[in-house]
Amino acid sequence: MQAISRASEDYLKAIYHLGTHGDPVTTGLLAHELGVSSPSVSAMIKRLQDGELVDRSDARAIRLTGQGEREALRVVRRHRLLETFLAQALGVPWDEVHAEAELLEHALSDRLEERIDAALGHPTHDPPGDPIPPREGPHTESWGVPLETVPAGSRFRVERVSDRDSAALRHLGQLGVVPGAVLDVEEQEPFGGPYWVRVDGERHALGIPLTRLVHGRTEGEP
């Protein structure tokens, strides 16, 4: 119950995020993700292990314990609620909400989190489409499939857009590639060439890196 430091929260959140992408979470990966050296990660993991928040029984991967995952989800919930709130209450553009929420998420009291959740009508997703974990109870991330893997000729409904790269997010927003949008994947040029997609009647070219940021689900043929 003793308070968890901001740094610990950042580590737990990063372990959680990297964990949802399937790859085993390693020291080096975490160090890169958090922008710190790997000895720093080693030291922090040791502290988190002492606090029963991470599990190192598998030497090849860093895993969260049940308690660690609960704490990570608390941070993720606050982050995504804040993103939603900032967008809605203040009109903060969707490529900025991530950075602001990153700053505020560690300073949000349970009471205020509750008020924000209620004021927003208990939203289930934040602006980029990430699901907001419940205050307690199970949670799944439901990524859908990356746009990258979708063959030409498909109709694709956008569910989630990664908000890690603010500039990319802004660009996608300008093209209309937002959660809920429906894309017709018209063509994929070979050898890493762009995807041509039709959004709202407009035809746009998306480079491979962009298509990796967009997740969703294929629908019936166009």
Closest CA to 179 of 197, 150, 164, 159: 159
Q: Which one of the spans 10-18, 94-102, 141-149, 165-173 is the region binding a copy of itself (CB under 8 A)?
A: 94-102
Query: According to CB under 8 A, which one of 35, 91, 138, 220 is a site residue for a copy of itself?
Result: 91
**Contact predicate 97/127, CB 8 Å:** yes
Is 72 an interacting residue with respect to DNA (CB under 7 A)?
no
The reply on whether position 68 binds DNA by CB under 7 A is no
* Sign for the pseudo-dihedral over CA of 172, 212, 126, 203: positive
| Residue of 3, 58, 59, 111 interacting with a copy of itself (CB under 8 A) | 111
- If one counts every other C-beta atom within 10 angstroms of the C-beta of residue 60, the result is 8
Tokens 């209309």 belong to residue: 176
Rounded-to-integer distance, Cα 167 and Cα 159, Å? 19
Q: Looking at beta carbons only, is 116 or 183 nearer to a copy of itself?
A: 116
Site for DNA in 11-50 (CB under 7 A): 26-29, 31, 34-47
Q: Which is nearer to DNA, 37 or 174 (CB)?
A: 37
Burial 162-183 (b: 16+ CB within 10 A, else e): bbeeeebbebbbebbbbbebeb
> Under DSSP, is residue 173 helix (H, G, I), strand (E, B) or coil?
helix
Among 109, 121, 151, 167, binds a copy of itself (CB under 8 A): 109
Site for a copy of itself in 118-177 (CB under 8 A): 119
Closer residue to DNA (CB): 42 or 124: 42
Q: What is the C-alpha end-to-end distance of the chain, expressed in Å?
A: 53
- Give contact residues for a copy of itself (rule: CB under 8 A): 86, 89-92, 96, 99-100, 103-104, 106-109, 111-112, 115-116, 119
